[in-house]
Amino acid sequence: MQVGSYSITPFSIQGPLLISPKILGDSRGFFTERFKTKEFQEIGLPVFVQENYSRSQSRVLRGLHYQFDRPQGKCVTATRGKIFDVAVDIRASSPTFGQHLTVILDGAKPEWFWVPAGFAHGFCVISDEGADVEYKVDTLYNPAGEGAIQWNDSELKIEWPITEPSLSAKDQITSSFAKYKMEPKF
């Protein structure tokens, strides 16, 4: 599907989208309009209220995070380096509950990955030089309303491209998907 200067790719799991802007390039480099409010709204995305930025070293893994009180939708892009990005459907009433999808986001190819509320989200850095990641969110962050699922949960069967990632202290003590299923938040 095409919306203005963006090519939109849906996935087998309803909700997430890959948004690819038109790129004008030559031997000097390229130019693109990464974000246009009007066209993002035509795609069906919400108004974004905040933009976050992170820098991570190679082999860093962040996630799988979700917000249940004031749930956040996230539009994620890599501006430098490459990441392996994951969205897990945690909507208990969804026919794809517990399924996940993955994309590679590359700073050299300025695409956006829309991850709506109701998904656990995480990524790992797969480029040697590390990665810079930006993401726009549609709701302000509420630390009291967040949860996390183990990145390597055996039931989810995510085939991460790295082993022994570098994790934050918070990401080392996450819950299993089986525990989430006992009291789903969506």
Q: 58-100 pLDDT, tens per residue?
A: 999 999 999 999 999 999 999 999 999 999 999 999 999 999 9
pLDDT of residue 66: 96
Residue of 6, 66, 135, 180 marked active site: 135
- Specify the CATH class of 48-182 in words: mainly beta
User: What integer best gives the mean pLDDT of the chain?
Assistant: 95
For residue 140, pLDDT over 90 is answered with yes
Q: What CA–CA distance (Å, rounded) separates 112 from 99? A: 20
Residue of 65, 66, 100, 180 marked active site: 65
SS3 134: strand
Kindly tell me the sign of the dihedral angle through the C-alpha atoms of 43, 139, 145, 125: positive
**Of 90, 69, 106, 77, the residue nearest 13 (C-alpha):** 90
pTM for the whole thing? 0.94
Decide if 135 is catalytic.
yes
Decide if 121 is catalytic.
no
* pLDDT (mean) for 30-57: 93
